Structure 1
């Protein structure tokens, strides 16, 4: 009887133990299910956390429950606790994709890029290299490691050349790279980034515009022109690319072509207000021919001296690389009359240009020979300098050199110039300060004020008399006004006061009044 009772108790104890274990297993799964419902259906994250923690207390190695707990923490804004739970999963299962992806996304969101890159590499090693390579390339772009990002995106694109997602990724990285390089002032490398985008997608007008702008800024007009011409078919709004074309033509100095193109766009009703403005602006600038007439009278405060008169007629032709001018001057002064014939040119040499003038006369009222040459070169975007020589011949020679520097201040232009020559074993100099205010973008419209000291070989009213003036003192001031009238005409009015030493210790006042009119056609 006693043995039978012991047997029954033993069997009962075993049944209790087995039932308890079974109930415990059911409890973990049931808690897991309840935690899922609270998370996904009820959105009751505190309750879901409590259920998941209870389930893990029963089954601490239950991976799915720990992954769920990590996700609930993140949904609750408790990122660090979520990271801790996912890290526990990886400690036991290094290749768990859910934990790796979660930690990658968390690291990216929190700006922990080095950690994110570590998890991306782990995901690739675990055998999932598709989507993560796209994310890794984007991450490397964010980190400024553009070469690595481009290599990944490029390899994806090579294997799938028509995949629009890979095309977008590659372009996005190149755009970011270009923007960064532009911020550093490295326009040459930025240009390579934008050109590479066009290699992948020739229809990308944003990259094309950026590449065109860089070439225009670098004055590489040939490359800018190729980009413009090859991109005409890719723009839904042709006015946009034609505006670039017009800007290029203006920068190249081809005002005639700029005007003709702008005028044709206006007539075809494919223009914008900017194109209309360019047409109006280039109308006068595109006039390649110019004819002009001027007259100047010099009066003295000495009654015994008769006024001097000077008349000039000129014709000018402007071409893309050079402007040429022919002028005939007639003078009536010091009781004598005569003619002078001049040839003048302004040849361009890339970013620089020259001034050349040659004149002949057989009359006393002009130098027999006059020769001038100056070379102009920029010092910066707003500074310009000049060096040159001057030669006059009458009964003797005047040989001198000149130097000048000028600067633009928005609509103002200031210039300081000197002429130096040797006379009687010493250096004699003159100095001229010119200030000019432009009313608009037209270089023919301005107000000018000039102050000068000493003899100037460029003073056409007096340079015939250089033998008597070169070593004597003079002080002069000029005010002038020039303005476009009747669209193609240019009217100029100038007045000069010159205090001239005519013999050592004695001076007189000389007054010049001149009027000029030019017509462009």
Structure 2
């Protein structure tokens, strides 16, 4: 028994221990889990539980914006407006572009009957989301609940114009005018009510509520005839309508036209024989008719008396009283007017008429009577009544936008009491409605003189001054009010709005210093004003003051440390200051927090691009390459990162890697011109001319431009390894009739390190045909060193027997090239050996070469000098040349046959030529040279050379 007890005790302790461990090591729910649970509880209308879950979520993550908005909504649903308002305001302070937050804020203020605040929120939302249909509908709803039906009607019309085919807008439009109609109907203003109901019927002709209401107004005003006419018109369109027939029956019953009523009842029974209501009415209607005809209405009795004795005052008073008690103001007015015909100055009748007109909301006519009655009654009550009627009349004119008539009424009210605040206020409103700010200010100044402490007049004056653009004066008034009532949040907000508006306008006018002054005043009053801080950041950036912009960004982030837009703006400022690492750290954190928001990822990659470009400018290609690869790790399709990576690899001469990235770019953008060009250029740098030419052809197919066609031709020329050439040299002389002509055929083959060529020269002579064979070699040792070699042999007819040449060329800094060489010539049993030295320099498109020869021809030695200049065009395909020489050199083809005889003569030469290449494949040239030789002290002879060339690659 004891062992069993021990076993039970041990099990209980073990179970308790396991439960404790489970609680200790159980992972708590994070803020997102709590938020999702709160959403589900809200859907099930478990609002208190949802509130508890929301508060727990905010404890875990205080900056959880969506959770704050949900909590605001929950408090709204439970009727706790203050906490609801608190949380929704927090959301809007953090994110002024959160549309749902504006909708909740508007609903809160409407529910709490704070319609002005609701209007402020909806106007602010429409500032950010201009033309948004939902917000425009919400504004119409705010105007309706605030009973501002005139402005609401204007807004409903503009809304319908913007979204004429939208059924939701059409319903809202109809609903607005129905609501306005009900409002005025309940207050006895049948005229306005009827107008609004008729507007509702314009869009929705079948609306039952509007038609019934108009009929009811006809009945109340005693216009049964119009009511019956309306029902008859509807019956004409729908003759079998049970409801319309029953409505007509009721109207006939009200007018005591029992005979016609009984006819209609029979028609109903004939069409609806089983209708219990109609059958039940048959007996009661007949009894009612019998009673009516047995006991005539007193109203009719008194009416009969008046018909027999129109001057019977008692009967007249009774008829008027009965009409007014029944709400039949038009009938009462008719009897009063009948009495006034016989007694036009009867004060009691005039007073009754004024009351009837006022009850029927005909304030203008009532006010005219009050003005007449004042002549015989100067009491304070009559004066007050007169002023009230004039103001009411003016309001009616103002609602109808008849501003002159409204002003006349308010002016008469002020004549009776110059300090009446209501009349002054309405007169100011009338001028403001007309945007007549000058007269509005005059009225407001008069009102303030009489009521210097009236806050409403001071605020209104400040608003008018602001509308006139006099923001300094407007702000001065607002500041005085705030100093007087420092705890009034509305006054504080008004002053801030004034300064912000002034700043915005100055900013649009590019008055940056003045605008900055306004925004600084705002943050001096409200250091955490997000709008002012944002404007100052933008303004300082606009005037190229990023240091100041950074100060304001940091100030703003002190109050809104997690504001995404501010963080992004700070990153932008840091990027402008070239503090790329700090900027990228911010955008990286934003990207981590909001991985699905494109703009943060874009900002981070753009910052990396800027950083990489800066590294390239600082000659740090390795750092730039690392940065660009970071971008590609985020988005391997980023075109700019791919292009910059290729360019950087080109700088590093890592062409193989550059080719990989060019191919990667083409995988994502197969027809992109830039990536195709990068691939072709990289292949060219790798000397892979065949694939480069194929790529260039594909560029031309997609983007057929002259530049792309030219580049394709250039690459194709690099693929061609052979060249055929034909040359013709014609020399003529002024001292002999003979001509010296040489025709040349050439074959050249291009190799990786240069080219070699074989030529056959032909010259016809009287003594025979001269033939000369030539072998030529250009050999590139390395990028800065190459050699030239030539060997010729002939049959010694017109040509030297043998010629050998060799030069080595070296490239130095600053585009300078040097040459050292040797020449050997065997002609006419004469042998010469020459040394050659030259220097060449390139300036952009100009090339200049100066060459000197030292010629040893036993027993004498000579010198020769040549200057050659070229001006290159069209990617150095074509050039114009100019040559000048002194002496005869062993490289002068046209005079080699006479070299032994010419070597010692003073020889001068000048020449010019033009060479043109077509599509990098076919080259033609034309050159001319004039040579002047001094053969004695006073004798000279001239030689003229024309040289033509044609080359073709294949």
Match for residue 136 of structure 1?
A: 570
- Does 1:509 find its partner at 2:922? no
Task: Identify which of 665, 670, 693 aligns with 1:259.
Answer: 693
CA separation of 1:126 and 1:105: change in aligned 2, threshold 3 A: closer
- 1:339-381 per-residue CA deviation (whole Å, 9 max, x = no partner) reads 343131152744x46341131537654364512224253755x
Deviation at 1:156?
4.2
- Does 1:73 find its partner at 2:499? yes
CA separation of 1:206 and 1:454: change in aligned 2, threshold 3 A: same
Match for residue 519 of structure 1?
A: 952
**Structure 2 length-normalised TM:** 0.42
Match for residue 238 of structure 1?
A: 672
Instruction: Compare the two structures and name the one with the higher strand fraction.
Output: 1
Which residues in structure 2 correspond to 1:59-458 (within 5 Å)? 60=486, 66=492, 69-77=495-503, 80=517, 83-84=520-521, 86-88=523-525, 98-99=528-529, 101-102=530-531, 104-111=533-540, 113-121=546-554, 128-129=561-562, 131=564, 132-157=566-591, 163-177=597-611, 188=621, 192=625, 196-212=630-646, 221-222=655-656, 224-235=658-669, 237-249=671-683, 256-263=690-697, 269-274=701-706, 275-280=708-713, 282-284=715-717, 286-303=719-736, 308-319=740-751, 321-329=753-761, 337=770, 339-347=772-780, 349-350=782-783, 352=784, 354-361=786-793, 365-366=799-800, 368-375=802-809, 377=811, 385-394=817-826, 396-407=831-842, 413-421=846-854, 429-436=863-870, 440-441=874-875, 443=877, 445-458=878-891
CA separation of 1:69 and 1:392: change in aligned 2, threshold 3 A: same
CA-atom RMSD in angstroms: 4.7
CA separation of 1:63 and 1:186: change in aligned 2, threshold 3 A: farther
Distance in 1, matches of 2:861 and 2:841, equals 24
Maintained 8 Å contact 1:479/1:496: yes
Deviation at 1:392?
1.7
Deviation at 1:321?
4.6
Maintained 8 Å contact 2:462/2:478: no
- 1:173-226 per-residue CA deviation (whole Å, 9 max, x = no partner) reads 2444567778x7868599556565445433222343455456668877555434
Instruction: Compare the two structures and name the one with the higher helix fraction.
Output: 2
Distance in 2, matches of 1:199 and 1:291, equals 52
Name the SS for the 2:486 alignment partner. Answer: coil
CA separation of 1:459 and 1:252: change in aligned 2, threshold 3 A: farther
Deviation at 1:310?
3.9
Deviation at 1:426?
11
Maintained 8 Å contact 1:239/1:272: no
Name the SS for the 2:892 alignment partner. Answer: coil
Distance in 2, matches of 1:219 and 1:431, equals 41
**Which structure has the larger Rg over C-alpha atoms?**
2
Deviates more, 1:322-331 or 1:209-218: 209-218
Name the SS for the 1:108 alignment partner. Answer: helix
Maintained 8 Å contact 2:713/2:919: no
Distance in 2, matches of 1:158 and 1:422, equals 79
Maintained 8 Å contact 1:67/1:86: no
Any unmatched runs of 5+ in structure 1? 1-32, 91-97
- 1:83-139 per-residue CA deviation (whole Å, 9 max, x = no partner) reads 34543555xxxxxxx44x455324303316545534544565668345243332122
- Does 1:473 find its partner at 2:938? no
Deviation at 1:296?
3.2
Any unmatched runs of 5+ in structure 2? 1-113, 125-459, 464-473, 504-514
The answer to which structure, 1 or 2, has the higher relative contact order (CA under 8 A, 6+ apart) is: 1
Distance in 1, matches of 2:614 and 2:500, equals 34
CA separation of 1:211 and 1:46: change in aligned 2, threshold 3 A: farther
CA separation of 1:302 and 1:129: change in aligned 2, threshold 3 A: same
Deviates more, 1:269-278 or 1:210-219: 210-219
Name the SS for the 2:883 alignment partner. Answer: strand
CA separation of 1:89 and 1:306: change in aligned 2, threshold 3 A: closer
CA separation of 1:353 and 1:221: change in aligned 2, threshold 3 A: farther
Name the SS for the 2:744 alignment partner. Answer: strand
Deviation at 1:168?
0.9
Distance in 2, matches of 1:363 and 1:187, equals 63
Distance in 2, matches of 1:45 and 1:425, equals 115
Name the SS for the 2:894 alignment partner. Answer: coil
Deviation at 1:147?
3.1
Name the SS for the 1:462 alignment partner. Answer: helix
CA separation of 1:243 and 1:41: change in aligned 2, threshold 3 A: closer
Distance in 2, matches of 1:217 and 1:377, equals 21
Maintained 8 Å contact 1:104/1:116: no
Maintained 8 Å contact 2:758/2:773: no
CA separation of 1:82 and 1:345: change in aligned 2, threshold 3 A: closer
Deviation at 1:300?
4.2
Maintained 8 Å contact 1:407/1:415: yes
- 1:143-163 per-residue CA deviation (whole Å, 9 max, x = no partner) reads 332232123334444666665
Count the aligned residue pairs.
471
